[in-house]
Structure 1
Amino acid sequence: MSSKLLNLSRKSKTILVAIIDVLLMLVSLYLAISLRENSFVPLTHNYLLALLPIPFLTFILFKFFGVYRLITRYFDENSLIVIFKAISSVVIVWLSLLTFYQEQLVPRSVWIIFWFIAMTIFIPIRIMISKYFVRNNHSVIVKNVVIYGVGEAGKQLFSLLKNTKKYKVIAFIDDSNFIGSSLFGCRVYTPEQFKKYYFGIRITNLFNVIDSFFHKKIKVDQFFIAIPSATQEEITNISQYLAPFNLPIKILPKVEKFIDGKISLDKLQTLSISDLLYRKGVISHQDLLNSAIFQKNVLVTGAGGSIGRQLCLEIAKQKPKLLVLFELNEFALYQIQQQLKEFDVEIIAILGDIRNTIKLTNILKKRDIEIVFHAAAYKHVPLVEENPFEAIDNNILGSLSVVNASLTANIKKCILISTDKAVRPTNIMGATKRFAELIFQGFNALGKTKFSMVRFGNVLDSSGSVVPLFKQQIEAGGPITITHKDITRYFMTIPEAAELVIQASALAIGGEVFVLDMGESVKIIDLAKKMILLSGKDIEIKEIGLREGEKLYEELLIDGSGEKTQHPKITKAKEKSLSMSELENFIKQYQECMKDRNIKQLKQLLINSQTGYNER
């Protein structure tokens, strides 16, 4: 029966509802007269005249106030207000008409009873109809949603959600002058008020009893954040407030992404983990960015990797004269080449291996390269532990090749992208990156090229990081696997890391290890919990034990101290280096080790070569 009614045309539904409304108003007036007279009265001439205007007034005024625009199966506070206005208007106009009539058709006090009965009949009937349709029409799934933000974006989002008929906005959350009032028939709560009504009011006094009577626990399916002008810090604060509700959260992006200030539902994005792990944005020193990149010829090794790709994007923004992409992986090179087409910069994409010193040298000379960012490396700890000689070949001997090519081509600067795992390493990857640092430090004094290093921690969403892994595990239904409940890591966003690397390169005078401010370290189990909260799913977290070479925590400085630079997020570390003779001796041993392929010999060499390697 309900499906037949739902399938009626809009016009047919309106006619049906109008007929029912007229009948209900007529019944209400008749019952009001009967109550006033203390018995069911016969329909005499006077009573019929009193009833006569009701059908016309009901239809006209109900239509005027939008009663027939209400969706019958969705009865909310807004519907209640509309019906209240419509019934009150019918009663007032009807009473006004009676005062102009010469005879008193009904007792004058009837109008009060009439209004009360009409309200008493209409509201329960509408609620019952709504519940009937929702219960019997299983194809209609309506989500109760709450909008955080009562500004223009919040109002536009309300209208869009209402028109989809898939969402029912039941409340707004904000901290403004709207608090305690209603917007589109929905109450506006402060964050604290909403939390109280969502989780239930704790009864401690008479006021709480009254409050709990009028405000029952709120049922919510999803949150929408509608403050596109909010800063990242504000978004993080809101995200952290909403996270404990354990419900899906969507957010409108920054205001500049809207055309003509208009929003659309396809612009809504799922809240990202970086929104919960807030870090104050990078302070961009434009003078540093300009001096590092503007109108210069730049080459990036590993241009298709996570860090290399973002470096290329940030470099392109600073308008270099030429940007050369050097990458071993064909598809990764193609992807970054396509991404860079939007920039008015000359881009040259070259497939190549950093270990091919002759080819790299020729490119540096031919393209008159001034600065190299060396981002090519094997960095996935477990894979490198299983493939140690490939890591030596790429991370150590490959870095040596980049250094030799840079010296031969007389480029101005060469910047190594390093990692916090190079500090007192317990795995082969970290040890190889530390020796790459030693190579850059040792060769700094040999020619015109200034060799410097930039060291930082984990980058959110980079390949091999825990964030993509956790996302896959959540999508698969879990469990999320962590190696230890106490393990911590430093995190920053990829754009933040890339921009700081460029600014650090401008400060380089040769031989320094620049360390990026990573903020506070984050417990991996807390990261996992936050990602689960964002997903709105119930996912198990499983501890599987530390992997080979994995540390509980990472460090950024070997000696625990560093010098300030002119950039507040960049510290300069002066760390011990090897003499040129020591360096050359160890390099020869690594080259010999590659021939013998003896793992015990390799690990002993990593210890002997002053990398600080301590096998776990």
Structure 2
Amino acid sequence: MRSHTRTWFILLPRQKKAFILISADVFFAIFALWAALSLRWGELYVPKSDEWYLFAAAPVIAVPIFIKMGLYRAIIRYIEVRALWTIIQATTLYALVFAFVLYESGIKGVPRTVLPLNWLNMMLLVGSSRFFARWWLGELYLNLGGGRGVKSHSKKNVVIYGAGNAGVQLASALGYGREFRPIAFIDDDVLLQKQKVNGLRIYPLSSLRYLIERHQVSDILLAMPSANRARKSEIIRLLEPFAVHVMSMPGLSDIAQGKVTVDALQEVDIADLLGRDAVAPDQSLLHANIAGKVVMVTGAGGSIGSELCRQIIRLQPNSLILFEISEFALYAIEKELQHLLTKRRAGSRLADGTPAIPGDINNAEEIKLIPVLGSVTNAKRCEKICNTFKVQTIYHAAAYKHVPMVERNPGEAVWNNIFGTLHVAQAAIKADVETFVLISTDKAVRPTNTMGATKRFAELILQALSLNAVNNLRTRFTMVRFGNVLGSSGSVVPLFKEQIARGGPVTVTDERIIRYFMTIPEASQLVIQAGAMGHGGDVFVLDMGEPIRIVDLAKRMIHLSGLEIKDAEHPDGDIEISYTGLRPGEKLYEELLIGDNVSKTDHARIMRAQEHVIPWAELEKMLATLEQATEDDDFERVRGVLADAVTGFIPQCEIEDVLWKEDRRLVNG
């Protein structure tokens, strides 16, 4: 019967619920005054003739004040302790107005102590009624699935790792949700263990297995938004042996900016697995080549190019030219950046007037976004763009980089990666561009594949142009070399996520293969800073940290998804890891340096490499031969030129011979 009554109340329209609350407060106003008089006289009070007016006046005074203070706008089942302050304010104002009315009415015989008793009674009745209703209605609302028919028994039992402020807020928020039911906290602080917060006990990590088995826990929620990556990585490693899905709260900056709410849980950031925190950027280096200048990014719609654009737009350029061959990619990045600028023009700021995002765009109205559809292989187009817009800084990110795809299309890789770089560089020289930064790769070091060889050849072009005194260069060429970036197109991370989502198997080329990894934002930020440090012809190498075994990354991603690896020891596991063998041109490990001649710079994560340079006169002849061989689809000759120019280039001949001959056969029909 009581359950039916609660259900009936929950399903009422808001106006009827407000009417019920107002009716209750009318009764409370009358009862509070009667109780105050009864307490004062020490007996059940019976009003005299003129005192009946006070009982009529009490609700007439209280209800308008409560309406004004917003007591009837609050959703009772979500009311929190801080709402008590509003109730105190409203009842205090009511008591003061009532005292004034009593004084002005001239009614005699009402003791002064009745006024504070009336205020106290009213505050207790109004406050306790709200919180009683919150308790009475809250659980039933969850059983109804928030009015959407989702039964509470379908909620997942979860454990929250971290019993600090963030964890408590998360538990409170999830209590009103329809998906998760918090059953306990885990915390490393010995002083907190065995204590209770909001009815949930705090356990040490050693009790996690017990909690999982007893409560059928499906997920662990990390509530440590302010923890650094090293700490998160340590905790994630401790959680790996447990067959539970690990999720985390968003970062404090995202919560503070209003991008997400406290309970907006997300998959564990793969960057947290690296356990390495980014070094604070040097603001002078970030702004040096961008602030107030005309900047062009080639390959602006790619993984690195698009992140460069996001970083650049926050550094106050005069104009940003988005140069991209893909129409859709160009449309997508322009739309995103326009949205970012529109938000800044609307004055997206915090309550204290500070920018909502660090490095907020102060001159958003003045920044020009110029989308240009075109290819870096079109020399005239590149030169015209640089001259027309008077470009001052170029970040050259346009490249074909997918190793197996490039192995099957070596001619296009040569045109794009080598001659595309040459054309943009020559256009920069003719237009007196101040700074040219090439985005290179660790695969350019002793390459076994065409992609790496073409990127090293592109480095050689810029080095040779920098040393060619005939040109009397005003353009400063800089190359920045780094390894894999997490989440880029063609990266193993999105591939593994997709394979895990569809039930496997997760494919790894070789159990021994290792790679360096870095986040796209960190890599882009370091590229911008390194570009500002160059004097001309510099090759900068980013500190990528420790290399990671790809199979270990796959295992961790499977475990963090709450699944078990299927192998000989665990035949009933969920996801199998299969080894497919090295792909064409793929190495077991990558390097960042050709030799050992490397020096430190003022930045902890950026090093300067001193490497072999081919004079421009000699390289120019190689370029002529390479151009003719590519036009003739003579890929064996192309490989020969690359082998002569690129130190340590040892292609996987048996595989490549087959591929290149097949490509040649297809081209020639």
TM-score, reference length from structure 2: 0.68
2:318 to 308, 317, 321: 321
Match of 1:465 in 2: 491
Q: Distance in 2 between matches of 1:280 and 1:356?
A: 40
8 Å contact from structure 2 (residues 186, 204) kept in 1: yes
The yes-or-no answer on 1:511 pairing with 2:537 is yes
User: Kindly tell me: are residues 426 and 164 of structure 1, through their superposed partners in 2, closer, same or farther at Cα, counting changes over 3 Å?
Assistant: same
- Deviation string 1:456-502 (CA, Å, 9 cap, x unpaired) is 00000001111111111111211010100000000000000000000
8 Å contact from structure 2 (residues 7, 140) kept in 1: no
Q: Distance in 2 between matches of 1:503 and 1:12?
A: 63
Match of 2:421 in 1: 399
User: Kindly tell me: are residues 352 and 65 of structure 1, through their superposed partners in 2, closer, same or farther at Cα, counting changes over 3 Å?
Assistant: closer
Match of 1:173 in 2: 186
User: Kindly tell me: are residues 463 and 67 of structure 1, through their superposed partners in 2, closer, same or farther at Cα, counting changes over 3 Å?
Assistant: closer
Match of 2:201 in 1: 187
**Amino acid of the structure 2 residue aligned with 1:505:** G
The yes-or-no answer on 1:579 pairing with 2:576 is no
Match of 1:551 in 2: 587
The yes-or-no answer on 1:409 pairing with 2:431 is yes
Q: Distance in 1 between matches of 2:578 and 2:597?
A: 36
**Amino acid of the structure 1 residue aligned with 2:195:** S
Distance apart, 1:533 and its partner CA: 1.7
**Amino acid of the structure 2 residue aligned with 1:434:** R
8 Å contact from structure 2 (residues 6, 140) kept in 1: no
**Amino acid of the structure 2 residue aligned with 1:450:** R
Q: Distance in 1 between matches of 2:315 and 2:151?
A: 55
Q: Which deviates further from its counterpart, 248-257 or 565-574? A: 248-257
Match of 1:208 in 2: none
Q: Distance in 2 between matches of 1:375 and 1:471?
A: 26
8 Å contact from structure 2 (residues 248, 268) kept in 1: yes
Q: Distance in 1 between matches of 2:621 and 2:320?
A: 35
Q: Distance in 2 between matches of 1:495 and 1:73?
A: 43
8 Å contact from structure 1 (residues 431, 612) kept in 2: no
**Amino acid of the structure 2 residue aligned with 1:360:** C
1:10 to 6, 19, 25: 6
- Deviation string 1:371-416 (CA, Å, 9 cap, x unpaired) is 1111000000000000000001111111111111111111111111
- Which SS does the other structure have where 2:586 is aligned? coil
Q: Distance in 2 between matches of 1:140 and 1:365?
A: 67
- Deviation string 1:178-234 (CA, Å, 9 cap, x unpaired) is 22212233220122x3346358xxxxxxxxxxxxxxxx8553111112233333333
Q: Distance in 2 between matches of 1:529 and 1:158?
A: 29
Match of 2:476 in 1: 450
**Amino acid of the structure 2 residue aligned with 1:289:** L
2:378 to 356, 374, 397: 356
Distance apart, 1:11 and its partner CA: 6.3
8 Å contact from structure 2 (residues 486, 520) kept in 1: yes
Distance apart, 1:71 and its partner CA: 5.4
**Amino acid of the structure 1 residue aligned with 2:284:** D
Match of 1:542 in 2: 578
Q: Distance in 1 between matches of 2:314 and 2:503?
A: 39
The yes-or-no answer on 1:295 pairing with 2:292 is yes
Q: Distance in 1 between matches of 2:204 and 2:273?
A: 21
**Amino acid of the structure 2 residue aligned with 1:181:** Q
- Which SS does the other structure have where 1:140 is aligned? helix
Q: Which deviates further from its counterpart, 229-238 or 605-614? A: 229-238
Unaligned segments of structure 1, at least 5 residues: 15-59, 76-136, 200-215
TM-score, reference length from structure 1: 0.74
Distance apart, 1:280 and its partner CA: 1.9
- Which SS does the other structure have where 1:245 is aligned? coil
- Deviation string 1:273-305 (CA, Å, 9 cap, x unpaired) is 112222221330011112121111111111111
1:528 to 554, 563, 578: 554
Distance apart, 1:309 and its partner CA: 0.5
- Which SS does the other structure have where 2:241 is aligned? helix
- The equivalences for 1:274-293 within 5 A come to 274-293=271-290
- Which SS does the other structure have where 2:296 is aligned? strand
Match of 1:491 in 2: 517
Q: Distance in 1 between matches of 2:8 and 2:597?
A: 79
How much identity, in percent, do the aligned residues show? Answer: 46
Q: Distance in 2 between matches of 1:73 and 1:360?
A: 63
1:605 to 628, 638, 641: 641
The yes-or-no answer on 1:226 pairing with 2:240 is no
Distance apart, 1:150 and its partner CA: 1.7
- Which SS does the other structure have where 1:169 is aligned? strand
- The equivalences for 1:81-480 within 5 A come to 140-164=153-177, 166-176=179-189, 177-191=191-205, 193-195=206-208, 197-198=210-211, 219-258=216-255, 264=261, 267-341=264-338, 342-343=340-341, 344=364, 345-445=367-467, 446=471, 447-480=473-506
- Deviation string 1:225-272 (CA, Å, 9 cap, x unpaired) is 223333333333332322322311222212233369998466221212
User: Kindly tell me: are residues 181 and 138 of structure 1, through their superposed partners in 2, closer, same or farther at Cα, counting changes over 3 Å?
Assistant: closer
Q: Distance in 1 between matches of 2:513 and 2:535?
A: 36
8 Å contact from structure 1 (residues 361, 405) kept in 2: yes
Q: Distance in 1 between matches of 2:295 and 2:514?
A: 35
8 Å contact from structure 2 (residues 289, 435) kept in 1: no
- Deviation string 1:301-349 (CA, Å, 9 cap, x unpaired) is 1111100000111111111111111111111011111121223222111
User: Kindly tell me: are residues 71 and 451 of structure 1, through their superposed partners in 2, closer, same or farther at Cα, counting changes over 3 Å?
Assistant: closer
Match of 1:33 in 2: none
User: Kindly tell me: are residues 435 and 73 of structure 1, through their superposed partners in 2, closer, same or farther at Cα, counting changes over 3 Å?
Assistant: closer
**Amino acid of the structure 1 residue aligned with 2:328:** F
User: Kindly tell me: are residues 367 and 484 of structure 1, through their superposed partners in 2, closer, same or farther at Cα, counting changes over 3 Å?
Assistant: same
User: Kindly tell me: are residues 352 and 506 of structure 1, through their superposed partners in 2, closer, same or farther at Cα, counting changes over 3 Å?
Assistant: same
- Deviation string 1:558-599 (CA, Å, 9 cap, x unpaired) is 003411001110000010110112101100011110122122
Q: Distance in 1 between matches of 2:385 and 2:232?
A: 45
**Amino acid of the structure 2 residue aligned with 1:586:** M
Q: Distance in 1 between matches of 2:257 and 2:509?
A: 48
| Number of aligned residues | 487
- Which SS does the other structure have where 1:608 is aligned? helix
1:566 to 560, 583, 602: 602
8 Å contact from structure 1 (residues 450, 509) kept in 2: yes
Distance apart, 1:369 and its partner CA: 1.1
**Amino acid of the structure 2 residue aligned with 1:532:** I
User: Kindly tell me: are residues 248 and 601 of structure 1, through their superposed partners in 2, closer, same or farther at Cα, counting changes over 3 Å?
Assistant: same
Q: Distance in 2 between matches of 1:302 and 1:414?
A: 14
User: Kindly tell me: are residues 442 and 155 of structure 1, through their superposed partners in 2, closer, same or farther at Cα, counting changes over 3 Å?
Assistant: same
User: Kindly tell me: are residues 267 and 585 of structure 1, through their superposed partners in 2, closer, same or farther at Cα, counting changes over 3 Å?
Assistant: same
Match of 1:53 in 2: none
Q: Distance in 1 between matches of 2:507 and 2:160?
A: 33
- Which SS does the other structure have where 1:339 is aligned? helix
- Which SS does the other structure have where 1:463 is aligned? coil
8 Å contact from structure 1 (residues 160, 264) kept in 2: no
